[in-house]
């Protein structure tokens, strides 16, 4: 598996349900961006890598969560760059994982 995540780093995926189902990082927490203000209590403790498809929604989430006191980092390039780098993903559909 190329480039495993550093120990202690959690992943928060802020994409929509259909995007999540098609392919996501294993063990990530899924909270769509629109639901984030109501679900901030579900954001993991410690440092969190925030991801979306290309980095725009995750940048918004990173800014918001940072203002709430969370230790967050945006994944520039998002899941498209993650997939292009050959990093591992899982799917909830039974089909091979992909970014949609």
Q: Give the DSSP letter of residue 11.
A: E
CB–CB of 57/64 below 8 Å?
no
The catalytic residue among 50, 52, 65, 89 is 52
52 is catalytic: yes
The closest of 17, 67, 78 to 43, measured between CA atoms, is 67
**Selection from 7, 37, 15, 34 nearest residue 89 by Cα:** 15
What single DSSP character describes residue 45? S
Report d(CA 80, CA 90) in Å as an integer.
Answer: 14
Q: Which amino acids are annotated catalytic?
A: 52
């Amino acid at each position: 598996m190329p480039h495993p995540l550093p120990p202690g780093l959690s992943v928060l995926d802020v994409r929509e349900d259909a995007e999540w189902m098609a392919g996501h990082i294993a063990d990530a927490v899924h909270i769509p961006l629109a639901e984030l203000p109501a679900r901030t209590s579900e954001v993991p403790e410690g440092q969190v890598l925030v991801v979306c498809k290309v980095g725009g929604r995750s940048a918004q989430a990173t800014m918001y969560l940072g203002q709430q006191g969370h230790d967050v980092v945006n994944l520039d390039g998002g899941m498209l760059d993650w997939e292009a780098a050959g990093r591992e993903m899982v799917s909830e559909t039974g089909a091979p994982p992909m970014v949609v």
